[in-house]
Chains A and B, each alone.
Chain A
């Protein structure tokens, strides 16, 4: 299903949902809203198959605010942040320094359970949105990076965290797009997140956060399975699941190639 078709269907469902609850939309400005604002999201697909020629793709996420205050919406007091978090794993950052004239990895720090990939889109700069909300681990600058083991001094920690973010952003596995979430009507929004070419396979998590004037109101999440298909993935799987057979195959190819070439060129 194309993103546009998915969006039309989603818009229809969302529109029907609003018809069912007219009371909320009619709350006059200034009065306390009895019903809390909510957030619904949907993706065009819950599973992405990545073929051999994959060079990265955009994932479109649709969402709707429920019980939103029309006036606050109109003056842009609502903000939406959407993230796509890859599978969690440990990551080690190493730092080189000169030892006897040679550059050697001398220091290292391992972070526990950090996402292998991370894309974030928002209605505007994430620091502006989060200004009043301290300690939320949203966005590349604020995500949790807890080191394993003993960390000597705090300066080191900041240094290694910064290096980690910088390297991941430079490598394309971490991305942010401030302005990547757009309201397409007063309460419907559309977010596009970039899947990098080297996106890891596994279960990713789409998370959407709704903020009103800097306060987190609602949060939704949806799993997204990324499956690599194609010959490359089969090779990677074979290398990890049947390493002995894989090794034997590598050796066989070498023997056949070497022997075959000597036969071919002798006949000439």
Chain B
């Protein structure tokens, strides 16, 4: 059964889109990630224009982050104050990102930029994650004690001015790195269509030394608002959010996620991370191949003077 996507301007098989949404939803539930970094490249592989894939990916992340954020809010593992400071940076970053996005689109380099950014980011994150999880598995095999680096060590980050007290997180931290982190994630959201949790969570733990229990909830809080904002700005400036595509993906995604969570609870953490790392690397590799392999047609045509 085919369905016409009005914004992407092409007909697609609805079952392929449903399958894609469910599969990414399942993985995102299993690994506890938003799934934007998987859905956007998958859509691009399926010939959805990257402009639409990125904007629709951001919209999809809103749906996949909501239930998690509500859960964390109920449990009290969400620092609203810290989240709001992150959000200030995030909204600024998303605005700057949209500007860069539109500019790259006007000079015809957007598709290339998105692909390169994905290869770099997914390649780096995937390699780091694989490395870490393999070491963790070896440690487990040798039955060594896991020595976690205790959060609370002071680094240059903690010598910056404009310090604020975040009661829920029980930390006293400069607003500068928090806003800067939010800004960087905001740029990624609007340019890549991702929530950015896979970068924000490690950065908050290792760089800002924020207690682990509030990290996921707080990052989800920031992600919901930044992705929702990005969706609206993309809709208003690039007209590139495909509501039909987004709805199919979201419905399949949130259902898939519920089953993913159940499977995820049965698997060991380091095995789970190793699997996710391999998946991330596979997506990066597939995108890298498209950059290097000679395209079927060197020419492309687009309507309009940009």
Q: Which A residues are closer than 8 A to B by beta carbons?
A: 52, 89-97, 101-105, 108, 110, 116, 148, 160, 163-164, 166-168, 197-198, 232-233, 235-236, 239-240, 243-244, 246-251, 253-255, 257-262, 265
Contact = CB atoms under 8 A, between A and B. Distances in A.
A91 B62 contact: no
Interface string B232-256: 1111110101011011001100110
Which of B6, B71, B116, B304 has the most chain A CB atoms inside 10 A of its CB?
B6
Given A102-B112, A261-B257, 16 more contacts: A94-B108, A94-B300, A96-B298, A105-B109, A105-B300, A148-B305, A233-B6, A236-B6, A239-B239, A240-B239, A250-B231, A250-B246, A255-B62, A255-B63, A262-B71, A265-B258
A265 B254 CA distance: 10
A250 B243 contact: yes
Interface string B215-236: 0000000000000100111111
A95 B250 CA distance: 36
A257 B299 contact: no
B241 A52 contact: no
A243 B67 contact: no
A239 B241 contact: yes
A262 B250 CA distance: 13
Interface string B282-306: 0000000001101101111111111
B247 A94 contact: no
Nearest to B256: A261
Interface of A is mostly: helix
A164 B301 contact: yes
Contacts of A253: 63, 243, 246-247, 250
A259 B231 contact: no
Interface of B is mostly: helix
Contact of B250 (A92, A164, A236, A258): A258
A257 B25 CA distance: 13
Given A251-B59, A258-B66, A258-B250, A103 B295 contact: yes
Contacts of B116: 102
A92 B63 contact: no
Contacts of A260: 254
Given A246-B243, A250-B59, A265-B258, A239 B301 contact: no
A92 B231 contact: no
A239 B239 CA distance: 6
A95 B258 contact: no
Which are the 6 A-B pairs with shortest beta-carbon distances? A258-B66, A247-B235, A262-B67, A261-B254, A247-B232, A254-B62
B95 interface: no
